[in-house]
Structure 1
Amino acid sequence: MKFVVIAILVAFTAASFHPVNREFVDEIKKTATAWTPMEPEENPFAYKTLEEIKGMMGTKLRGRKELVDSTNIDLTDLPDSFDWRTEKPGAIHPIRDQANCGSCWAFASSEALSDRFAIESNLATDVVLSPQFQVSCDKINYGCQGGYLDRAWDFLEYKGTTSDECVPYTSGKTGRDGTCPDKCTNGDEFTFFKSKKYNHPTNEKAIMQEIQKYGPVEVGFMVYADFMSYKSGVYNTHGGRFLGGHAVKVIGWGVEGNLPYWTVANSWGESWGEQGFVKFRRGNNHCGIEGDVYAGEADWKKLISE
C-alpha cells in the first residue's frame, strides 16, 4: 500500500510539473547571477502544456566524441566580439517562430544557409529559405518529430531547399509534416538553394573561425527547464528538468561581465529572450552547445531550377 501511494505521488508530481511557474522563476532569481528570467505572466510558454513544449525540442543530439578541450586554446588572433548583424547589415534574417512542431533542426539549418547566401554573395542573393521543404521532404529525418543536424546538412548538400515564398511554413499551425510538394504553392517550378559539403568544427576556436569566415552555424544543445524563462544576460543553466534537444543558429560571440558567450538566434519568436536572441555561455561546451555544430558553404553560383 505504501509503495502504491508513493508511486501515485511521483506520477502526480511528474504530471503537474510545468517549466514556467512562479516558484521556479523565484528560485532562478536566487541562483542565477549572470542572467535574468522573465516573469511567468509575460512568458509565451506559460500558456503551452508541458507536452507541447517538449514537442518543440526536435533535435536528436549526437554529442561529438572528438570534441577538443577548449581550456588552453589560444584565441588571441580572434576579436573579443563578432556579430554578423553589424559586420554585414541585412545579412542576418529576422527571428522566426517554429510554433507547434519539432522543426528547430530545419529552422536553424535553413536560416544559417539563408544568411550564408547573403554573406557569400554580398547580399546579391538575399532569400529566406524554406524550413517547410525540409520538414516535408527530408525523409532521412523525422519532420515535426525531430531530426539530426548532420542529416539536415546532407539534405541541403544533395537536394537543397526552396525559398520560403515558394513553400511557406505551415507545420507550426498543423503540427504535421505535410506532403512533399513537387511545385511551389503558386505553381512555379522549384529553384533549389544548396550547400557545399558541410563542416563540423569541434572546438571553440574552430567554431569562431568558421563563423567569421563563412557565416552563422547550426548548433544543437540540451534544454533544461530554466532555459524557457530566459530574458537577458549570459545564460548558463541552473537546472530543472531536462526537456530535450534543440537546434539554434549562432551568428557571433562576445563577452559580458567577463563571461564569454555565443550570440544565438532562436526560433521561438521575438517575445522570448532578447527579442528572440540569447547570449549562451561559451567555451566550456555548456549543455553540449559546442558538441553538435554544422554548416556548409552556400553554393550560390550554382542555383538549380527544376
Structure 2
Amino acid sequence: MRGVYLYLAVTATVFALLSARCCLNVSSDETRTKLNGCAVDFISFREQFHRSYVANSAEFDLRHLYFQNATKRHAYLNSFSTVAQSAKYGINQFSDFSQEEFRDLYLRASADRAPLFPGLKTGKTEGLPAKFDWRDKAVVAPVQNQQACGSCWAFSVVGAVQSVHAIDGSQLVELSVQQVLDCSFQNEGCNGGSPVQALKWLKQTKMKLVPQSEYPYKAKTGICHFFSQSHGVVAVKNFTAYDFSGQEEAMMGHLVEHGPLAAIVDAVSWQDYLGGIIQHHCSSQRSNHAVLVVGYNTTGDIPYWIVQNSWGTTWGNEGYVYIKIGGNVCGIADSVAAVFL
C-alpha cells in the first residue's frame, strides 16, 4: 500500500511540473476558461478528436479529469523508455476515458486455455527469414475500427480467415465481421467473445463468410442474417490454437507457414500507446483483447512482432502495435490460433 501512495505522489508531482511548464506558453485569452492543469492541451484534444461535450458541464469536468489522469500515466509509462525504439505513450483518442471505461468498452475478449505447442522448444528456425510481413504479399486487409463495441474477437478471426483465403490464391476480399458478431451464438456480440469459440462455430456450422460489403459492420450486435452456402465466399475447415510461451521462435515459423495468426493479449496499457516497441507494462496475467499477428522483424536491437489492431489508423503505428519477441510480452504467445480453409 505504501508503494501505491508513493507512486501516486511521484506521478502527481511529475504531472504538476509538466502542466506548469506547458501552461507557461498559454496566452491570457486561452486561460480564460479557468480550467485546472494545462487547458490549451485539453482544448486541442477536443478539437482533434471531435469531442462535443459542452464547456463547464459535468461531463466536461469529468472528461477533463480523466484527461489529466492520462497525462500522469504517460509520465510514468514513458519513464521506462530507455532506448530509441521503445514504446511511447501519450495523448490519443482514448485520453478522456477512465481506465475502467476503456476496459469495459474495448477489452472484451476472453481466452480459452490453449495446449502447449507440441513442437521442439527451440524449434527449427534456421531457415526462417530475419523479417517477415504478410502485408508485403498483399494478403492483409486494411486496419478496421471496432468503435465502441467489444468485437475485437470477431475482427481477429475474420482477419485471419480473409488473409489465409488470399494466401491460397484467391483475391483478397474483406469478409463480414458483423456476420460473425451476430451469428456466433457461443459468444456475446459486442459484449465480448473468444476467437477460439468463434472458430469452433465456423468449423462446426461450415458457414461461409460473405463479403463485408453485403453484411456491413454496424458496431452493435444485431439479428443473424442467413445466406445460402452458394452465396458465401469461404468456410473454415479447421484451425489450431496453441500456447507458444517460451517458444516464440516456433511461433515465428507457424506464422510463416500458416499465415496471420489470431492471438489474445493483455492490452490494458494500450490505452495510451502511440508507437514503438512495447517491452514493459503488460502483465499477461489476464488476456482481454484479440488481435492479428501479421509479421515479425528480428533485424534490429529489439526483435518484435507486427500486430494489427482494430482501433482505427489514428491509433499506434497507423493501427499497428509492435511487441517485443521473447518473454511473452503482453501474453502475445498464450493463445495463438491458425486457420485452415
TM > 0.5 between the two? yes
Q: Percent identity?
A: 28
The aligned residue for residue 85 of structure 1 is 135
Aligned CA RMSD, in angstroms, stands at 3.0
Deviation at 1:58, TM superposition (A): 1.9
Tell me which amino acid in the other structure corresponds to 1:129. Answer: L
The aligned residue for residue 87 of structure 2 is 36
Deviation at 1:286, TM superposition (A): 1.8
The one-character-per-residue Cα deviations of 1:110-142 (angstroms, maximum 9, x if unpaired) are 011111111111xx3321011100110100111
Contact 1:58 1:244 in 2 (8 A): no
Deviation at 1:217, TM superposition (A): 0.8
The aligned residue for residue 11 of structure 2 is none
Tell me which amino acid in the other structure corresponds to 1:37. Answer: K
From the two aligned structures, give the one with the greater strand fraction.
Answer: 1
> Distance in 2 between the 1:138 and 1:19 partners?
39
The aligned residue for residue 38 of structure 2 is none
SS in 2 for 1:253: strand
Tell me: CA distance 1:169–1:19, structure 2 relative to 1, closer, same or farther (3 Å).
Answer: farther
The aligned residue for residue 202 of structure 1 is 243
Tell me which amino acid in the other structure corresponds to 1:266. Answer: N
The aligned residue for residue 265 of structure 2 is 221
Bigger RCO (CA 8 Å, 6+ sep): 1
Structure number with bigger Rg: 2
The aligned residue for residue 236 of structure 1 is 279
The total of aligned residue pairs comes to 270
Tell me: CA distance 1:70–1:273, structure 2 relative to 1, closer, same or farther (3 Å).
Answer: farther
Contact 1:109 1:295 in 2 (8 A): no
Instruction: Select between 276-285 and 241-250 the one with higher mean Cα deviation.
Output: 241-250
Is structure 2 residue 200 aligned with structure 1 residue 159? no
The aligned residue for residue 64 of structure 1 is 114
Alignment of 1:43-122 (within 5 A): 43-54=92-103, 55-66=105-116, 72-73=122-123, 75-86=125-136, 88=137, 90-121=138-169
Contact 1:153 1:295 in 2 (8 A): no
Q: Which runs of 5+ in 2 are unaligned?
A: 1-64
The aligned residue for residue 265 of structure 1 is 308
The aligned residue for residue 35 of structure 2 is none
> Distance in 2 between the 1:191 and 1:139 partners?
19
Tell me which amino acid in the other structure corresponds to 1:227. Answer: W
> Distance in 2 between the 1:51 and 1:137 partners?
28
> Distance in 2 between the 1:44 and 1:69 partners?
41
Deviation at 1:156, TM superposition (A): 2.6
Tell me: CA distance 1:65–1:119, structure 2 relative to 1, closer, same or farther (3 Å).
Answer: closer
Tell me which amino acid in the other structure corresponds to 2:241. Answer: H
The aligned residue for residue 11 of structure 1 is none
Deviation at 1:240, TM superposition (A): 9.1
SS in 2 for 1:46: coil
> Distance in 2 between the 1:51 and 1:128 partners?
32
Is structure 2 residue 76 aligned with structure 1 residue 27? yes
